[in-house]
Amino acid sequence: RRSSSRAAALLRLAAVTIGRSDTALGAFYRRLSARIGKQKAVTATARKIAVLFYNAIRHGMTYQDQGAAAYDERHRQRVLSNLQRRAKTLGFALAPIPETAAVS
């Protein structure tokens, strides 16, 4: 993709590469690319990398990757809490399926 900034081009390249890794950023990229497309996912992941880089340089923060499994679990919990809140506003309550019924 054409860019006037070499830094933007390098961040996009890093985003595409990290999309194939088993990290939280890789899981973020894959989830977005499935939903909104590859180009927008590359841009969003590049921005996320840039923010992490800025915070590391400016504030001395360190980045500790939790892995793709931890990211997927956090995303699942966030989706579940949003569904529960939405059901509650509509006057419903969500209940988990019993284990014996889930297998059948």
pLDDT per residue as tens, the chain (104 positions): 666 788 999 999 999 999 999 999 999 999 999 999 999 999 999 999 999 999 999 998 888 888 888 888 999 999 999 999 999 999 998 888 887 766 55
Q: Are 14 and 49 in contact (CB under 8 A)?
A: yes
Burial of 31 (0-12, 13-18, 19+ CB in 10 A): middle
Q: Which two tokens stand for residue 21?
A: 């890794």
- Cα(17)–Cα(4) distance, integer angstroms: 21
Q: Are 32 and 41 in contact (CB under 8 A)?
A: yes
If we measure between CA atoms, which residue out of 11, 24, 4 comes closest to residue 69?
24
